[in-house]
Structure 1
Amino acid sequence: MKRLTPTDRVAAIVSLLILTGAIWVATHGPQSPIPLHFDAAGQADRYGSRYELAATLAGLAGLNLLVAWMTGRQAASVADPVRRKGLQRGQWLSILIMGAVAAFIGWSSLGPAAASGVTHMGGAMAFTAFILLITGAVLGRVSPNPIIGVKTPWAYKSRLAWDRSNRLAGRLMFWLGALGLIASPFVVQPAGMIALIVGVLIAALWSVFESWRVWRADPERQPF
């Protein structure tokens, strides 16, 4: 059995905190319908009960444990210390993202939008940009795995393609996040949020193309 690492323990603590929040929402949350989904302008377009929100948070707690366990198990099975460290970075990144998403979902449904039905699009953009910034700072140093990164068939068939495509994706996401954070208080919404999402899509497509391009030129690539 794999021994629990500090990262495993942090994952368990984060999941426990999210689950505690879910229990609080289910027992003490608003009894009136609360906003659960918002359109591009930040207007609530679907409402639900506190139990639905609690179930969503509880699902995130379970998903966080599952992803952390899978990446941690893969890291423990790798003999190469460099690759093991890269997988552990991916484990930390998944924990951060899950925790941040859970906090944002709770804030979106129970914050100012609970009364007005309108979420703060600048805040949503800033949150998205922050996640991109943190993801970009780590992504280029994550070792090959089935959960986090540019997971194309070519990246799995060439370590060089994996490294270069993930480094490119990391740089693009980092700078998108940095620009998004700077612009979020000033840019007109929802144009700013839409531009950020389009930027992410372009970065993803560019990174996928890069994985194919590098695999094709790699003399040590594995064939299909």
Structure 2
Amino acid sequence: MIRKGFLYALPPLALILGLSIWGWTGTAAGAEIPVHFGLDGAPDRMGGKVEGFVLLPAMALFLCVLFSLMPLIDPRGENILRSAPAVLTVWAGVIWVLAAAQALITLTALGHMDSADGPGQFIGFACACLLAVLGNVLSKTRPNWLIGIRTPWTLSSDKSWDVTHRWGGRLMLAGGGVSAISFLLAPPPVAFTILGISTSVMVVVSVGLSYWVWKNDPDRDTYSAASE
């Protein structure tokens, strides 16, 4: 799984590094780089070259190392390996979103993109697509401590984990799909509102469902302090 993970992450990682080098060499020393964008697409915070062209590559490399260590550091590491399709999708998907963010920063810094090009929609669409893709594989995760919908109840009941991830994945897929379409058809503020509502509904329903299934699972784990 680890070898596949690095293989899948290599294209977006190479893209991030290439964009960072292009941006670093193409901007003057001391230049202010747009590093955050408002819902209207206009830059609303500036930073230096290190923040603009080093932070995201470093974060991407760190995440690759973290994903590769998951089977070793999770107490249920064997379930991480059993969840390989989902783990690999999350691994590659997150790096691709970071690549989209780096492209936005670099192209804006070099003058190849401005607020009229809809950069807010660009990154929002990428996040919505990631949400839909993750929803499609969420049900393939097995109980673990590092990836998935981790509530006290899914971690204490394998049945709660299975049911929550099956229905939570469907909600995530639907919400991500609707949000992605909204970024193509609606103004950015409306699309981001739809994305926020979709994510909130998925979280609230998943947490509530995880508790309800756990409460009705006779095989659930319960914990209490040992009496003296």
Per the normalisation by structure 1, the TM-score is 0.83
Name the structure 2 match of 1:67: 66
- Out of 16-25 and 97-106, give the one that drifted further: 16-25
Partner SS state of residue 188, structure 2: coil
Preserved contact between residue 15 and residue 61 of structure 1 (Cα < 8 Å): no
**Count of matched residue positions in the alignment of Structure 1 and Structure 2:** 217
Residue segments in structure 2 that go unaligned for 5+ positions in a row: 224-228
Q: Structure 2: how far apart are the matches of 1:132 and 1:99?
A: 13
Which residue of 90, 93, 99 corresponds with 1:97? 93
Tell me the equivalent position of 1:107.
103
User: Which whole-Å CA distance do the structure 2 matches of 1:113 and 1:186 have between them?
Assistant: 27
TM-score, scaled relative to structure 2: 0.82
Where does 1:122-141 land on structure 2 (aligned, <5 Å)? 122-141=121-140
Structure 1 residue 9, shift from structure 2 partner: 3.7
Following superposition, the deviation at residue 177 of structure 1 comes to 1.6
Sequence identity percentage: 23
8 Å contact from structure 2 (residues 160, 211) kept in 1: yes
Closer, same or farther: CA 157–47 of 1 in aligned 2, 3 Å: same
- Choose 214-223 or 25-34, whichever is displaced more: 25-34
Shift of 1:185: 1.9
Q: Distance in 2 between matches of 1:114 and 1:206?
A: 43
CA RMSD of aligned residues (A): 2.7
Q: Which residue of 2 aligns with 1:55?
A: 54
Q: Contact 1:133–1:173 (CA<8 Å) still a contact in 2?
A: yes
For 1:22 and 1:113, locate their aligned partners in 2 and report how far apart those are by CA, in whole Å.
Answer: 11
Partner of 1:189: 188
Q: 1:186 to 1:16 in 2, by over 3 A?
A: closer
Distance 1:114 1:170, change over 3 A: farther
Q: Which residue of 1 aligns with 2:141?
A: 142
Question: What displacement does 1:91 show?
Answer: 2.4
Residue 171 (structure 1) aligned with residue 167 (structure 2): no
